[in-house]
Amino acid sequence: MGDSAGLQFVSSYAFEAMQKVDVVRLAALSDPELRLLLPCLVRMALCAPADQSQSWAQDKKLILRLLSGVEAVNSIVALLSVDFHALEQDARKEQQLRHKAGGSNAESILVSQLQHGLTLEFEHSDPLRRLRLTLSELLAIMNKVADSNGEFFLKSSELFESPVYLEEVADVLCILQAVVYSTLSCS
Protein backbone atom coordinates (compact mmCIF):
# COMPACT_ATOMS: atom_id res chain seq x y z
CA MET A 1 0.00 0.00 0.00
CA GLY A 2 1.49 3.32 -1.08
CA ASP A 3 1.33 6.33 1.23
CA SER A 4 2.01 9.93 0.27
CA ALA A 5 1.35 12.72 2.76
CA GLY A 6 -1.30 10.64 4.54
CA LEU A 7 -3.03 9.44 1.37
CA GLN A 8 -3.14 5.71 0.79
CA PHE A 9 -2.93 4.05 -2.59
CA VAL A 10 -3.77 0.54 -3.70
CA SER A 11 -0.60 -1.54 -4.01
CA SER A 12 0.19 -3.33 -7.25
CA TYR A 13 -0.24 -6.63 -5.36
CA ALA A 14 -3.75 -5.67 -4.22
CA PHE A 15 -4.63 -4.30 -7.66
CA GLU A 16 -3.59 -7.51 -9.38
CA ALA A 17 -5.45 -9.62 -6.81
CA MET A 18 -8.58 -7.56 -7.44
CA GLN A 19 -8.14 -7.59 -11.22
CA LYS A 20 -7.84 -11.38 -11.26
CA VAL A 21 -10.40 -11.83 -8.47
CA ASP A 22 -7.79 -13.88 -6.64
CA VAL A 23 -9.57 -14.36 -3.33
CA VAL A 24 -6.61 -16.14 -1.74
CA ARG A 25 -4.43 -13.09 -2.38
CA LEU A 26 -7.24 -10.77 -1.31
CA ALA A 27 -7.53 -12.69 1.97
CA ALA A 28 -3.81 -12.08 2.56
CA LEU A 29 -4.19 -8.29 2.41
CA SER A 30 -3.82 -6.21 5.54
CA ASP A 31 -6.88 -4.40 6.90
CA PRO A 32 -5.74 -0.99 5.55
CA GLU A 33 -5.13 -2.51 2.10
CA LEU A 34 -8.50 -4.24 2.18
CA ARG A 35 -10.22 -0.99 3.25
CA LEU A 36 -9.22 0.65 -0.03
CA LEU A 37 -10.99 -2.10 -1.98
CA LEU A 38 -14.17 -2.32 0.11
CA PRO A 39 -16.60 -0.61 -2.28
CA CYS A 40 -15.56 -2.96 -5.10
CA LEU A 41 -15.61 -6.05 -2.90
CA VAL A 42 -19.01 -5.24 -1.40
CA ARG A 43 -20.45 -4.59 -4.85
CA MET A 44 -19.00 -7.90 -6.10
CA ALA A 45 -20.53 -9.73 -3.16
CA LEU A 46 -23.98 -8.14 -3.49
CA CYS A 47 -24.57 -7.86 -7.22
CA ALA A 48 -25.83 -10.78 -9.25
CA PRO A 49 -22.78 -12.26 -10.94
CA ALA A 50 -22.46 -13.09 -14.62
CA ASP A 51 -20.40 -16.09 -13.51
CA GLN A 52 -22.75 -18.72 -12.09
CA SER A 53 -20.06 -21.38 -11.65
CA GLN A 54 -19.43 -23.35 -8.49
CA SER A 55 -15.92 -21.89 -8.19
CA TRP A 56 -17.33 -18.35 -8.15
CA ALA A 57 -19.85 -19.39 -5.49
CA GLN A 58 -16.92 -20.59 -3.34
CA ASP A 59 -14.95 -17.41 -4.04
CA LYS A 60 -17.97 -15.29 -3.15
CA LYS A 61 -18.25 -17.08 0.21
CA LEU A 62 -14.63 -16.23 0.94
CA ILE A 63 -15.22 -12.60 -0.03
CA LEU A 64 -18.23 -12.48 2.29
CA ARG A 65 -16.06 -13.90 5.09
CA LEU A 66 -13.47 -11.19 4.40
CA LEU A 67 -16.16 -8.53 4.63
CA SER A 68 -17.84 -9.82 7.77
CA GLY A 69 -16.87 -7.82 10.80
CA VAL A 70 -15.59 -4.83 8.80
CA GLU A 71 -17.48 -1.85 10.15
CA ALA A 72 -17.50 0.23 6.94
CA VAL A 73 -19.24 -2.54 4.98
CA ASN A 74 -22.67 -1.63 6.40
CA SER A 75 -22.46 1.96 5.17
CA ILE A 76 -21.33 0.76 1.72
CA VAL A 77 -24.22 -1.71 1.57
CA ALA A 78 -26.58 1.16 2.41
CA LEU A 79 -25.07 3.24 -0.40
CA LEU A 80 -25.63 0.38 -2.84
CA SER A 81 -29.28 0.02 -1.79
CA VAL A 82 -30.60 3.24 -3.34
CA ASP A 83 -32.52 3.72 -6.59
CA PHE A 84 -29.67 4.47 -8.99
CA HIS A 85 -31.96 4.80 -12.00
CA ALA A 86 -33.72 7.80 -10.45
CA LEU A 87 -30.39 9.21 -9.26
CA GLU A 88 -28.95 9.00 -12.78
CA GLN A 89 -32.02 10.69 -14.27
CA ASP A 90 -31.70 13.53 -11.76
CA ALA A 91 -27.98 13.79 -12.53
CA ARG A 92 -28.73 14.19 -16.24
CA LYS A 93 -31.31 16.87 -15.47
CA GLU A 94 -28.72 18.59 -13.28
CA GLN A 95 -26.18 18.52 -16.11
CA GLN A 96 -28.72 20.06 -18.49
CA LEU A 97 -29.63 22.71 -15.92
CA ARG A 98 -25.98 23.59 -15.34
CA HIS A 99 -25.35 23.72 -19.09
CA LYS A 100 -28.31 26.07 -19.64
CA ALA A 101 -27.32 28.25 -16.69
CA GLY A 102 -23.72 28.46 -17.88
CA GLY A 103 -22.38 26.46 -14.98
CA SER A 104 -24.13 28.46 -12.30
CA ASN A 105 -24.66 26.72 -8.98
CA ALA A 106 -27.84 28.71 -8.30
CA GLU A 107 -30.23 25.78 -8.73
CA SER A 108 -29.77 22.07 -8.26
CA ILE A 109 -31.91 19.07 -9.04
CA LEU A 110 -29.76 16.79 -6.89
CA VAL A 111 -29.41 18.98 -3.80
CA SER A 112 -31.96 21.32 -2.33
CA GLN A 113 -30.91 24.17 -0.08
CA LEU A 114 -28.17 23.16 2.32
CA GLN A 115 -28.96 23.85 5.97
CA HIS A 116 -25.27 23.71 6.96
CA GLY A 117 -21.95 23.51 5.17
CA LEU A 118 -21.44 20.73 2.66
CA THR A 119 -19.32 18.52 4.94
CA LEU A 120 -21.68 18.85 7.88
CA GLU A 121 -24.61 18.12 5.57
CA PHE A 122 -22.72 15.04 4.30
CA GLU A 123 -22.13 13.84 7.87
CA HIS A 124 -25.80 14.10 8.84
CA SER A 125 -27.23 12.67 5.62
CA ASP A 126 -28.72 9.33 4.73
CA PRO A 127 -27.02 7.26 1.99
CA LEU A 128 -29.10 8.67 -0.88
CA ARG A 129 -28.44 12.24 0.19
CA ARG A 130 -24.71 11.49 0.48
CA LEU A 131 -24.71 10.18 -3.08
CA ARG A 132 -26.64 13.25 -4.27
CA LEU A 133 -24.35 15.71 -2.46
CA THR A 134 -21.22 14.08 -3.81
CA LEU A 135 -22.61 13.76 -7.33
CA SER A 136 -23.71 17.40 -7.35
CA GLU A 137 -20.27 18.55 -6.24
CA LEU A 138 -18.59 16.32 -8.82
CA LEU A 139 -20.85 17.55 -11.64
CA ALA A 140 -20.09 21.16 -10.67
CA ILE A 141 -16.36 20.46 -10.98
CA MET A 142 -16.82 18.58 -14.26
CA ASN A 143 -18.85 21.50 -15.61
CA LYS A 144 -16.13 23.94 -14.57
CA VAL A 145 -13.52 21.80 -16.36
CA ALA A 146 -15.65 21.65 -19.50
CA ASP A 147 -16.07 25.45 -19.47
CA SER A 148 -12.39 26.17 -18.79
CA ASN A 149 -11.30 25.72 -22.43
CA GLY A 150 -8.15 23.99 -21.25
CA GLU A 151 -7.13 26.88 -19.01
CA PHE A 152 -5.79 26.09 -15.56
CA PHE A 153 -8.10 26.90 -12.67
CA LEU A 154 -8.36 26.08 -9.01
CA LYS A 155 -11.72 24.92 -7.69
CA SER A 156 -11.83 24.21 -4.01
CA SER A 157 -14.26 21.65 -2.65
CA GLU A 158 -15.10 21.53 1.01
CA LEU A 159 -16.35 17.96 0.64
CA PHE A 160 -13.46 16.56 -1.41
CA GLU A 161 -10.80 18.31 0.63
CA SER A 162 -12.02 17.19 4.06
CA PRO A 163 -9.61 14.60 5.51
CA VAL A 164 -12.28 13.57 8.03
CA TYR A 165 -14.59 12.25 5.31
CA LEU A 166 -11.97 11.14 2.80
CA GLU A 167 -12.69 7.40 3.07
CA GLU A 168 -16.46 7.85 2.99
CA VAL A 169 -16.34 10.26 0.04
CA ALA A 170 -13.98 7.87 -1.77
CA ASP A 171 -16.50 5.05 -1.19
CA VAL A 172 -19.28 7.20 -2.64
CA LEU A 173 -17.16 8.19 -5.65
CA CYS A 174 -16.25 4.56 -6.32
CA ILE A 175 -19.90 3.52 -6.22
CA LEU A 176 -21.01 6.44 -8.39
CA GLN A 177 -18.38 5.61 -10.99
CA ALA A 178 -19.55 2.00 -11.04
CA VAL A 179 -23.29 2.63 -11.28
CA VAL A 180 -23.79 6.00 -12.98
CA TYR A 181 -20.69 5.84 -15.17
CA SER A 182 -22.43 7.16 -18.30
CA THR A 183 -23.23 10.40 -16.47
CA LEU A 184 -19.64 10.74 -15.29
CA SER A 185 -17.85 10.21 -18.58
CA CYS A 186 -15.12 12.76 -19.09
CA SER A 187 -15.50 12.95 -22.86
Q: What is the mean pLDDT of residues 101-129?
A: 80
* pLDDT confidence of residue 4: 45
Of 77, 104, 122, which marks where a domain is finished? 77
Of 25, 46, 77, which marks where a domain is finished? 77
- In the beta sheet, which residues pair with residue 8? 3
What is the domain extent for residue 16?
10-77
Q: 70 and 122 share a domain? A: no
Determine the distance from the C-alpha atom of residue 130 to the mean position of all C-alpha atoms in its chain, rounded to a whole number: 10
As for how many domains the chain has, the answer is: 2
Q: 87 and 60 share a domain? A: no
Please write the tens of the pLDDT for every residue from 17-66: 999 999 999 999 999 999 999 999 999 998 877 788 898 889 999 999 99
* pLDDT confidence of residue 146: 75
Residue 155's CB is within 10 A of a number of other CB atoms, namely 11
* Backbone angle region of 83, left / alpha / beta, with phi > 0 → left and psi within -120 to 50 → alpha: beta
Q: For a pLDDT cut of 70, what percent of the chain falls above it?
A: 91
Nearest by Cα to 35 from 53, 9, 13, 56: 9
How confident is the prediction for the chain on average, in pLDDT? 86
Q: What is the mean pLDDT of residues 67-78?
A: 93
Q: What is the mean pLDDT of residues 155-159?
A: 87
* pLDDT confidence of residue 95: 85
Q: 21 and 49 share a domain? A: yes
